[in-house]
Amino acid sequence: MSDLTGYSYSRGEIASQAWVDVGTVIAVEVVGRVAGSGDTADANADSRHVFITVQLDTGAHISIEQAVDLDDPIHKGDRVKLVSEGGVTRVVTAAPLMNQ
């Protein structure tokens, strides 16, 4: 799979159960890797990876590396969901809860 953002899923992952944790991003670091070429300083923005560190609402910290999502970038201070399924965890922005 070439799209490694928080919103990319394989056919086998569709409609499968996932565990969800919620937290706040405390750091986002650009890794700058381009698939197949190792670490480079001049990587294209759409092929960069970020290392996202989240403080979960439980107080625990977790870090995930994933591709930059140019349509929904994640920033320090954002509320996010960590969606874990089949050994893969994705970080996605948490939509505000309605009717609360």
pLDDT digits (tens, 9 = 90+) for 44-71: 445 688 999 999 999 999 999 998 878 7
Contact 2, 35 (CB under 8 A): yes
Higher-pLDDT residue of 76, 30: 76
Neighbours of 99 (CB within 10 A): 3
CB distance 91 to 73 below 8 Å = no
Q: Compute the distance between CA of residue 53 and CA of residue 61 in angstroms, rounded to an integer.
A: 7
Token pair belonging to 43: 């990587």
- The pLDDT mean for the chain works out to 76
DSSP 8-state code for residue 12: G
